[in-house]
Amino acid sequence: MPFSTTPLNDGNKIPQIAFGTGSVNKGKDMTDQVEQAIEAGFSHIDTAHYYANEYSVGNAIRESGLKREDIYITTKFFSGISIEDSAQKSLEELGTSYLDLYLVHFPEVLGDDVARSWAKFEKIKADGIARSIGVSNHYVKDLQKLLENAKVVPAVNQIAFHPYNYETNKPTLELCAKHGIVVEGFSPLTSITKFPGGPVDKPVQAAADRLGITPAQVLLAWVKSKGVVIVTTSSKRERLDEYMAVGDLPELLPEEIAAIEEAGAQGPPSTLLQLDKKRILPLAGLSAIALFLRYAL
């Protein structure tokens, strides 16, 4: 069946696939790309203050002619200004009166007093600035710390998600499931874009051959099979059509899913990691390598 929506623990719903505007798109005018994504069928657009492209995202949404309720907007708080001011700035940049989902971009940006900072997110939800609030790049210890004093449980946790980090993500997935937190997965195509030639390639290609689809579609189908919301991107319309078609594909067989996960548990083919400096270096005081291993793999 086509991509639909997933219910959140606060009574709202989130589309099962999103067009992401981060990664190589940081700081770029995303008007044309977001317009193209909307034309391809994406109704969920994911951006962030840190991406420095909220204005162009909002411009594309305005130019689409869609009613506000027909588009789902996610953005994220990073740092530099207060949580309240950042949320208002995002509203202004995006040209909207409310956010569908407002996320904490990294646990570190909440500072030492996590309870006090999260309470500000709870007020943002209570005031209707954001209909849902959640987190990004949070793992077990981060979530446990936040949940200790949270009055509102995060609705979403957005993390890197692909076969090569699935095994290490399991404790986080289990904790999210326990609290009804929906997981969103970005970088779902990592195994073929960053680590081609690895053990995951064989079972992915086998499933692709059986179904007559592409390896990318197999990987997105695998993410979908785990109940994880997909966050993906491309500047090419044919790729976007390819990704959206996954919603209409037959489900992967249980043995195909298991084979992909068993291959993923073997790890990527190389330990020579390429650091995303633009993304990591602003988080002063933390090891760049440690952050890359935590947030990107």
**Concatenated DSSP letters of 180-214:** TPEEEEE-TTHHHHTSTTSTTHHHHHHHHHHHT--
Cα–Cα nearest to 24, from 16, 15, 33, 11 = 33
105 is in an annotated binding site: yes
CA 23/CA 258 separation, integer angstroms: 29
Tell me the C-alpha distance between 101 and 15, whole Å: 11
Distance CA 10, CA 295 (A): 26
The enclosing H or E element of 226 equals none
Which residues, at least 6 apart from 77, have a Cβ–Cβ distance to it below 8 Å? 49, 83, 86, 87, 102, 103, 104, 105, 109, 121
Question: How far, in Å, CA of 223 to CA of 260, rounded?
Answer: 11
Name the active-site residue from 51, 72, 166, 243.
Answer: 51
- What the block records as the tokens of 136 is 């990004």
Residue 72 bears catalytic tag: no
Q: Which residues line the annotated binding site for substrate?
A: 105
Q: Please list the active-site residues.
A: 51
